[in-house]
Structure 1
């Protein structure tokens, strides 16, 4: 559908629009998707479904998005993980798995 820009000034996300249709279980839905130009991250998605019982329109917008990862610490485990010893039910995960015998019938 063409290029679009979201944002203002130096904080702009370049995007590209796509339009497509999908039929599933006898229903046809038409989609419009606006995604980031470089990484295909969705910004806005619209879906229109036409049926004899009635029509539906769904619009999904994603807010506060920007290129890259803002805070890499989300990948760091919290300090309380890994401290203490395994007890009770958690000890199950430290034992080897039982062996199984394959029987051909």
Structure 2
């Protein structure tokens, strides 16, 4: 058994233990949920969306990381907020500057 399969089974067991799966199934079977999904325009063109094209569903800065070498459609998107990236870069620069000042003394 692959480790990935083991983790999936373990997570499914956790969800069943907490009864999240039964609550989700009950919600999906309810008539209100089906009416909402039926008339939702976001679900109309789900087959035409290319999962590797970030412009179809997200406008922020992002990067696609393929997880399967044999199927390039499978992968993970990572999102990065520009302001958050600038703040991280500023913190890193301040740490490097303090380290250099400390080494000079």
What is the TM-score normalised by the length of structure 1?
0.25
Q: Which has the higher contact order (CA 8 A, sep 6+)?
A: 1
Q: Which has the higher strand share?
A: 1
